[in-house]
Structure 1
Amino acid sequence: MRILQFTVDCPFPPVSGAEIRNAANARALASMGEVLTVSLTGAPAPSPPPNIRHRIIEAARGRASWYRRSPHPTMHIIPDDELAEADALWGQFDPDLVVIEEIVLAQLLTLASKHRARTVLDLHNIDSQTVADRIAGLTLWQQLRGWRQNRRKKTGARDADRHAAAMADQVWVCSRADGALLSALGPVNDIKLIANPIPDESVLSLPIGAERYRDLRLCFIGHLGYFPNIDAVKQIGRGMVPRLAASGRPWSITVAGKTPRDVVRGLCAKHGLQLIENPPHLPELLGHAGYAPIPLRFGGGTRIKVLEAMAAGLVVAATEKAVEGLGLQAGRHFLSSDDAGELASKIIDLSATPQAAVEMAELGRAFVRDSHSLAAIETAIKQAVAAIPLPRTG
């Protein structure tokens, strides 16, 4: 079997949540045949895993990120030269299966009618819901002032989700909640749940001991160019830092991730957060901290930062939005509140009883180890692919 995987960024090495999911999917698909990953940004992967090759759409090199030049709220309106190059690569490789990352690249589905391969749309988020959440988070004045524009954005995002899901032969989602949101938009051929992986299973060996949780050492990791994560950094700075400072105890918060925007740099400088840009090795960062603050208010789908933190033995302190669809139990697997300040208070309280923190960390790690290992992801993908008749005839 030959499998073609289109992604926005090169999946290797996997750093951000999207790359981590794409890399895990590629590895699982490589167990079934030859995989060619094709990305629109990044550099050629220096050493992809066995049975995986990587190419870049050369026409896209040097151009601004899609969201800076696309008139659509969620889709990349792919220029003709980039689309023609993708079409040529598709024809040359002659795949049996094509996996397309996210609604952002959904325009590539229009090429399927020229080729025989079946298609999978891999949704890391339900983008129409993310757009709606972002607009709902605006002040009332902002919503009223931009009412027509916001309505167009929401309609455009819903139409894109609905149309792309109906075009693909199969759609992968990250959680049952995302599957329900997608089904509510209209008819979908086939939805399969493909959970997200633990990004680096080596973190499962990081020690869990009482000393780790006595100190107020916090670490937030995520793509720092993605607006839900930018908003989370705002919540950490404005809501959590004052509570931690008021405790009278030493504290530290590390914010680490890929391509931080200037607003993130400003927030970290203003609130005393340590910013680590494009961290080369995450296990060391995760092992140094005891708590993972994740006060997400927007977004959906991947939840990889939650899985990563729990696998590494951190106690996660998160909003319900951050853990939505994972099946975690508040108070058992993680600390829960929709208020960032309250999350900080719960961390402070738990650190006074570090053995209780140990128990929560162990339960969190066991949960993700059992449900989100690479072996579990590979099994789910094999079963999903087996449900698609290959190759398509006619």
Structure 2
Amino acid sequence: MRVLFVCHRMPYPPTDGARVRAYHIIRHLARSHQVVVAAPTRSPAEREAVEGLRQLGCDVLSGPIGRTAAIARMARNLATPEPSSMGYFYSPALAAGIRREASARPFDLIFAYCSSVAPYVAELRGCPRVMDFVDMDSQKWLMVAGARRWPLSFGYRLEGRKLERAEAEIAASFDLCLCITPAELATLRGYGLPAATATGWFPNGVDLAYFAPSEAPYDPDAIGFVGRMDYFPNQQAVLAFCDRVLPRIQAVRPAASFTIIGAEPSRDIRALATRPGVQVTGTVADVRPLLSRCAVSVAPLSIARGVQNKILESMALGVPVVASPATAGGIEAVPGRHLAVAGDSAGMVEACLNLMRHPEERARLARAGRALVERTYHWDVAMRRLDSHLAPVLAMARTGRQDIPV
């Protein structure tokens, strides 16, 4: 079948959470179908990345998004019912390319990845349509609104409310809507969707061969954090950790260090590198060497939705995780068995020190975490679950198709 896969970011290379999930879905679909990937680009590197998708056998449509134009579209949407995030991810050139492609040769299936790409396929009808919301973004922005001061709090709350309405409308117009966890699915179903709209969830996965435990010794004084550092929940978590947790750990273990591994660190995050024991790496080609040397990987976010890849990848590497309840909630893990969970700064200090002091406890959590990922979060497991949801939709596609109006 001929499948259109529309993504809000160029899904190659698969170096962060959004790209990782999209890439593995595309790779899986490309094994059985002719896949046309459509995604905007924001840099020369992203434009060059299309070759990685072509190596999977995919055709690729792309269109540029300039920063000034994106900001202008976001600002314009402030006065309309349309969420600003949809303006941010919209490329007129890409939209035109999708219309031309659909007109020249209709698609058998449309797969939209994240709500922000819904405008690209709003007019494409006549074949089954799948929306993978991943996280319900509306709820994330409403949570961020509660953590920001006015006027940012007002802006995030407005965006969250707009997205709630948009998500309900989008879901009602698709044949199948998917999410990343049962909790996200519960939010989606709470919108009161039409009976004809099927829903389901499937998890993220981990490349277990790539994220394999290292045989090199670890540093018992090293703590690590992985995540994009232009993302507010990550910034908030790291700043709080450096203010409230790390100094108390260093009071007991003066050699304790904290490595912040992630692209695009803000000015406030870069400034943390002036503190004793703190390293801010910025973009790295490979997180594995830096993370594998750590005694502990921390995920202390107070705002978290869906599945945190930082937890899965740390577990796969055999690095035990200390997480906040919000971060751990998206993982099918038992606190104390597969990872440590700490609800406040004092608990985070205690949990980190426990693993830094006791190599046998660290080894136990490392083994249990790796076993959980092998059992539950292998990409083959995730794709089998996706297949079970797609089977009825693909059967619809095989029964026939109308021409897609453009």
Using structure 2 for the length normalisation, give the TM-score.
0.86
1:129 aligned to which of 139, 154, 158: 139
Partner of 1:359: 364
Partner of 1:43: 47
**Is the counterpart of residue 12 in structure 1 residue 12 in structure 2?**
yes
How much has 1:175 moved relative to structure 2? Answer: 0.6
Describe the SS at the equivalent of 1:185: coil
How much has 1:247 moved relative to structure 2? Answer: 1.4
Partner of 2:301: 296
Partner of 2:348: 343
Percent identity (aligned): 22
- In 2, distance between residues paired with 1:325 and 1:248? 31
C-alpha distance 248-372 of structure 1, shift in aligned 2 (>3 A) = closer
- In 1, distance between residues paired with 2:209 and 2:199? 27
Aligned pairs for 1:1-394 within 5 A:
1-41=1-41, 42-45=46-49, 46-48=51-53, 50-53=55-58, 55-58=60-63, 60-64=64-68, 66=70, 69-70=73-74, 71=77, 72-76=83-87, 78=90, 80-92=92-104, 94-113=106-125, 116-138=126-148, 142=149, 151-187=157-193, 189-199=197-207, 201-207=209-215, 212=218, 215-270=220-275, 272-388=277-393, 389-391=396-398, 393-394=401-402
Amino acid at match of 1:251: A
- In 1, distance between residues paired with 2:209 and 2:106? 34
Aligned partners of 1:135 and 1:150 also within 8 Å: yes
Aligned partners of 1:292 and 1:315 also within 8 Å: yes
- In 2, distance between residues paired with 1:268 and 1:69? 35
- In 2, distance between residues paired with 1:267 and 1:173? 35
How much has 1:79 moved relative to structure 2? Answer: 5.3
C-alpha distance 44-340 of structure 1, shift in aligned 2 (>3 A) = farther
Aligned partners of 1:237 and 1:268 also within 8 Å: no
How much has 1:21 moved relative to structure 2? Answer: 0.7
Amino acid at match of 2:37: T
- In 2, distance between residues paired with 1:310 and 1:303? 11
Aligned partners of 1:76 and 1:105 also within 8 Å: no
Deviations 1:77-96 (A, max 9, x none): 63544422332234445332
- In 2, distance between residues paired with 1:191 and 1:65? 35
C-alpha distance 249-338 of structure 1, shift in aligned 2 (>3 A) = same
Describe the SS at the equivalent of 1:343: helix
Describe the SS at the equivalent of 1:57: strand
- In 1, distance between residues paired with 2:84 and 2:135? 14
C-alpha distance 49-367 of structure 1, shift in aligned 2 (>3 A) = farther
How much has 1:163 moved relative to structure 2? Answer: 1.4
Amino acid at match of 1:120: V
Aligned partners of 2:145 and 2:152 also within 8 Å: no
Aligned partners of 1:130 and 1:298 also within 8 Å: yes
C-alpha distance 31-348 of structure 1, shift in aligned 2 (>3 A) = same
Aligned partners of 1:177 and 1:324 also within 8 Å: no
Amino acid at match of 1:278: T
- In 1, distance between residues paired with 2:157 and 2:287? 40
How much has 1:334 moved relative to structure 2? Answer: 0.9
How much has 1:200 moved relative to structure 2? Answer: 5.4
C-alpha distance 33-279 of structure 1, shift in aligned 2 (>3 A) = same
- In 2, distance between residues paired with 1:89 and 1:341? 57
C-alpha distance 20-148 of structure 1, shift in aligned 2 (>3 A) = closer
- In 2, distance between residues paired with 1:382 and 1:43? 30
How much has 1:347 moved relative to structure 2? Answer: 0.9
- In 2, distance between residues paired with 1:326 and 1:160? 27
- In 2, distance between residues paired with 1:84 and 1:17? 28
Describe the SS at the equivalent of 2:21: helix
How much has 1:199 moved relative to structure 2? Answer: 4.4
C-alpha distance 146-137 of structure 1, shift in aligned 2 (>3 A) = closer
> 1 or 2 for the larger relative contact order (CA 8 Å, sep ≥6)?
1
Amino acid at match of 1:194: F
What stretches of structure 2 of length at least 5 have no aligned partner?
78-82
Aligned partners of 1:290 and 1:314 also within 8 Å: yes
Aligned partners of 1:215 and 1:250 also within 8 Å: no
